[in-house]
Amino acid sequence: MNLLKDINHLLPVAGIKIATAAANIRYSDRTDLALIELAAGSTTSAVFTQNAFCAAPVLVAKQHLSQSNPRYLLINAGNANAGTGQAGLDAAVACCESVAAEMGCDTNQVLPFSTGVIGENLPVDKINNVVADLKIDLNPHHWHAAANAIMTTDTVPKGISCQVSIANQVVTITGIAKGVGMIRPDMATMLAYITTDAKIEKVLLDSCLEKTVAQSFNRITVDGDTSTNDACVLVATGQSKVIISELNRTEFQQALDKVCEALAKALVRDGEGATKLITINVTGAQNTNESDRVAYTVAHSPLVKTAFFASDPNWGRILAAVGRAGVKDLDINKLKIFLGDLCIVENGARSESYREELGQKVMKETEISIDIQLNRGQASSKIWTCDFSYDYVKINAEYRS
């Protein structure tokens, strides 16, 4: 499923309403503010960036989530409200206060989220001026509008819906996400909001989110940078009356995993200036730390990434990246590397069956897999990344222009 094309088919989730507005925070010709209303009684789970310089809205959202059952998620684009000290914290709270006053809830029932330029003060007045407009615009069908409003350097909005039958009843899951640069989440400028009408207790919801993030959003990288503002939120409204427990968790977890993996891959596919989606599979490692280290070393190599952009089967760059990944006592004679189905390295050298024209054919594809077989254990890792193009440098060099 290519979410860069299929976003128009987003399903409403009972208990969720959405509004957008143009606050002119940084962009003058588009919406840049979204509000998600959660039905009373909803359960909310969230994970946030591991960057030590986490943004003010992250700190406030964490605090508010620990104090209440949230009723509103407020998301602005164009300004990250990061690196802004006490003024940033005050600004984030002030926005929550404005929404709470308009909607009739407690301030700590509003979770703030921001994405955009770091180090600039958040224009609170611009946001507060359109909160009343947000209230008027609330509608269960405004998912596509919200996916557009939260974008920064994204070229297209990203969203997906999924329905699954549990106990002969239909459960709906709909999610949106943004982020195409400064991406290696490790919960980058990535924000994701996933909602379901199932009823799930907080402890189980936390567990479901932790599991799915570990295998989706924490398995992607565009450039290896973890930003100050990452957040992924999962909301269960309970409006379908379908109760998810440990007994029937498997069906729900599989559907949730499908949604989050699709969103994660969509972020990479739309990576800043990206032209190719690259899947890196590492197998036969002694442990997952080892397989992760190999996968990310290859994914973060500028030489590997630029070769993929050029469709150049320069397999030596992949081999060199594996060799410097820090795998202790790596036996290169046991190592095998495949580009798609094509073996490029075995027995410590180029595969005898490899032909340059065959490698060239694979490299011209827009979705490519690299399979690295270490043959020294049972552990494995899979991550998704993209190539580096001229546009990546241009976009980031001119980001504040």
φ, ψ (nearest 5 deg) of residue 22: -100, 105
Instruction: Give the DSSP H/E element, type plus range, for residue 315.
Output: helix 315-323
Closest Cα partner for 166 from 55, 252, 254?
Answer: 252
The C-alpha atoms of residue 350 and residue 105 are separated, in whole angstroms, by 65
The yes-or-no answer on residue 152 being catalytic is no
The C-alpha atoms of residue 283 and residue 276 are separated, in whole angstroms, by 22
What angle, 0 to 180 degrees and rounded to 10, lies between the N-to-C axes of helices 85-103 and 56-67?
Answer: 50
Q: Are 179 and 218 in contact (CB under 8 A)?
A: no
**What does the block give as tokens for 152?**
């920064």
**What does the block give as tokens for 136?**
């008027």
The C-alpha atoms of residue 238 and residue 219 are separated, in whole angstroms, by 29
Judged by DSSP in three states, 262 sits in helix
Judged by DSSP in three states, 62 sits in helix
Q: Are 107 and 145 in contact (CB under 8 A)?
A: no
How crowded is residue 374: how many other Cβ atoms within 10 Å of its Cβ? Answer: 25
The C-alpha atoms of residue 313 and residue 318 are separated, in whole angstroms, by 10
Per annotation, catalytic residue among 44, 172, 174, 189: 189
The C-alpha atoms of residue 378 and residue 355 are separated, in whole angstroms, by 30
Beta-carbon contacts of residue 400 (< 8 Å; ≥ 6 apart): 117
- Alpha-carbon torsion, ordered 84, 90, 95, 98, to 10 deg: -160
State the pairing for strand pair 379-386/33-38: unpaired
The C-alpha atoms of residue 34 and residue 225 are separated, in whole angstroms, by 25
**What does the block give as tokens for 221?**
């990288």
Largest Cα–Cα distance in the chain? 71
Using CA atoms, how far residue 103 sits from 22, 71, 328, 399, in Å, is: 19, 9, 58, 35
Which residues are catalytically annotated? 189
